Chains A and B, each alone.
Chain A
Amino acid sequence: MTTTWHADPIALAAYVEGSLDDVRASSLEAHLLTCDRCRDGVATSTPADAIDRMWGGVVDTIDTPHRSAVERLLLALRVPEHLARLLMATPSLRLSWLVAEALALGFAVIAANGTSGQDEELVLFLFLVVAALLPVAGVAVAFGPGIDPTYEVAAAAPMPADRLLLIRAAAVLASSVSITALAALALPDLDAIAAAWLLPALGLTAATLALGTWVRPLVAAASVALTWVLFAAAAAVSTQDRLAAFRPAGQVACLAVIAASAAVLAHRHTLSEGRIVR
């Protein structure tokens, strides 16, 4: 449909203002669907502040980063927005990692439920050892120059590296503990031993962070993990009790490790800053 008719400027201005009579307004609306020129006329008659304001809102919404499920959960838990954003750059807080953790534990749980007696104890031993190691692995993956591609840029930023490390470590620990607690509920024997991984998990993580004040997080995590596995195995063999590392004596030892690590961290609070090297 060709049209040589265009709305006159007075009508346009009245329309924008809302004072144009209804018959002509509706006709104009139909016309506006097909006419560039009159649309421009409306644009020039519309006050700029409303247009700019709405555009600011559009841009803000578009630029708001796509938030993953994990990030939305963090925000729901009242984690400040900028911290949640920071945490989401942590590989070990990504959904894929969390799923991997859940699967690893899930297999152990299924195995535990499918066996009995001696075998069950062995599987439980493995579950507990692995459960204690998960947060350590998470911390190692979350940090370190080899893993974090933005290391170079982050190193030059004011946010202290140790603060970032602690925030991430805390988040990793919280997520691992939550998943493990859920998995532990599915273990066949719900007695005290099913929770025996908690203190070791905290202890190992604390030890990793403390050791991280001297060496790279990856090295710290690997050393701690190796020591733990050897210790748990040695305890099992020497006392003929597979779960020796998790008995009360072992738990107390973990408490001691936590205390010592906390002291180290408090004292050497410039975590790994001295190692601004590669």
Chain B
Amino acid sequence: MSAPTVEIHDVRKRFGRTTALQGVTFDVAAGITGLLGPNGAGKTTLLRMMATVLAPDDGRLRLLSWDPQAADERLAIRRRLGYMPQEPGFHRSFTAFEFVDYVAILKEMTERRARHDEVRRVLGLVGLEGVSGRKIKALSGGMRRRVALAQSLLGDPDLLVLDEPTAGLDPEQRLRFRELVSDRTADRTVILSTHQTEDVAALCQRVIVMLDGQVLFEGTPRELTQVADRRVWLADDRAAGARLSWRTADGAHRNIGEAPSDADLVAPTLEDGYLLLVGDRAFAEEAA
């Protein structure tokens, strides 16, 4: 891995009695890194720290070679940072344009004409230039998320922190998002969290799997797939020794776990690797 742009070292965080992060350590370099894990894994907490919105109880971070605990360095980070929160909040009566314009002012763009040009640019990147005059409350959920994504792109940040950016997007918008984010990976660091293994497979150079505030895996998507090597097989029914099993569309059962010697092995997917690590926690969260 090339020189890290984000360093997380033994970071811990509690909220009251709940431990959100239990000593998380990893590095992130330029390119796209995916944070994969079920709800409650601590992804949002970690991303908020990377966006300088939250401070850890213990441990330290370095973002773009600066320390977010020092006030002036924090300012330097924020000048190169774009952050898309999981639940973006908006002022009710703002139009899409006005909201992104507001954030642009917060990002110190004081000159009106240049600022408006930049707002139009980012709205164009997410495909919302046609509805920039519409009030946010009149936009669909997917469009609102795209507005939130647009504001994170203001000023062309070096560090892009995106919390569930593809939630609520249809496949075409997802594709567009991937194109958008894949641009300029050489000098930009993108960290995004997601539930969807397809996003990771299509987009990420590195993936980190989290569960219960801990890192279970750190590596390339291929390596994550290989975790399930020789551990995925098909059978007529749920097999003994399978940690997870489910019925596929064609009627067979896909099993993940310790395969018996005569098993009908199949090539693993990224999702298989993920599920093997996370176990039935993934299903439990989806059912919730």
For A61-84 the 0/1 string (1 means CB < 8 A from B) is 011110000000000000011100
- Whether A158 lies near B106 (C-beta < 8 A) is yes
List of B residues within 8 angstroms of A160 by Cβ: 75
List of B residues within 8 angstroms of A63 by Cβ: 97, 116, 119-120, 132-133
- Whether A150 lies near B71 (C-beta < 8 A) is no
For A142-160 the 0/1 string (1 means CB < 8 A from B) is 0000001111111111111
- Whether A154 lies near B106 (C-beta < 8 A) is yes
**Contacting residue for A151 out of B89, B112, B120, CB 8 A:** B89
How many residues does chain B have at the interface if contact means C-beta atoms less than 8 Å apart? 44
Question: Complex: how many Å from CA A85 to CA B101?
Answer: 9
**Contacting residue for A65 out of B53, B98, B151, CB 8 A:** B98
- B152 → chain A closest CB, angstroms: 8
28 pairs of residues in contact across A and B, judged by CB atoms under 8 Å: A60-B113, A62-B133, A63-B97, A63-B132, A80-B110, A81-B112, A85-B102, A85-B105, A86-B106, A89-B91, A149-B89, A149-B92, A150-B90, A152-B53, A152-B85, A153-B83, A153-B89, A153-B148, A153-B151, A155-B51, A156-B83, A158-B79, A158-B106, A273-B74, A276-B52, A276-B53, A277-B54, A278-B54
Question: Complex: how many Å from CA A59 to CA B54?
Answer: 38
Question: Complex: how many Å from CA A86 to CA B87?
Answer: 21
A276 and B78 in contact, given A82-B112, A149-B91 (Cβ under 8 angstroms):
no
Question: Complex: how many Å from CA A273 to CA B54?
Answer: 10
Q: Which residue of B lies closest to A84 (CB)?
A: B105
**Contacting residue for B108 out of A59, A150, A151, A158, CB 8 A:** A158
Apart from A63-B132, A82-B109, A153-B85, list 4 A-B contacts with CB within 8 A: A150-B91, A152-B83, A153-B148, A158-B107
- Whether B110 lies near A157 (C-beta < 8 A) is no
Question: Complex: how many Å from CA A175 to CA B99?
Answer: 24
- Whether B120 lies near A156 (C-beta < 8 A) is no
A158 and B78 in contact, given A63-B97, A150-B102 (Cβ under 8 angstroms):
yes
How many residues does chain A have at the interface if contact means C-beta atoms less than 8 Å apart? 32
CB of A115 closer than 8 Å to a CB of B: no
B residues 82-132 touching A (CB-CB < 8 Å): 83, 85, 87-92, 94-95, 97-99, 101-103, 105-110, 112-113, 115-116, 119-120, 132
- Whether A153 lies near B55 (C-beta < 8 A) is no
For B249-274 the 0/1 string (1 means CB < 8 A from A) is 00000000000000000000000000
**Contacting residue for A157 out of B85, B107, B120, CB 8 A:** B107
Q: Which residue of A lies closest to B85 (CB)?
A: A152
CB of B81 closer than 8 Å to a CB of A: yes
- Whether B89 lies near A156 (C-beta < 8 A) is no
- Whether B108 lies near A273 (C-beta < 8 A) is no
- Whether A150 lies near B103 (C-beta < 8 A) is yes
- Whether A152 lies near B88 (C-beta < 8 A) is yes
Chain A to chain B: the 3 pairs with minimum beta-carbon distance, closest first: A149-B89, A157-B106, A156-B83
Question: Complex: how many Å from CA A255 to CA B95?
Answer: 43
Question: Complex: how many Å from CA A86 to CA B105?
Answer: 7
- Whether B53 lies near A155 (C-beta < 8 A) is yes
For A105-122 the 0/1 string (1 means CB < 8 A from B) is 000000000000000000
Question: Complex: how many Å from CA A270 to CA B148?
Answer: 27
Which of A60, A80, A86, A150 has the most B CB atoms < 10 Å from its CB? A150
For B42-85 the 0/1 string (1 means CB < 8 A from A) is 00000000011111000000000000000100110011010101
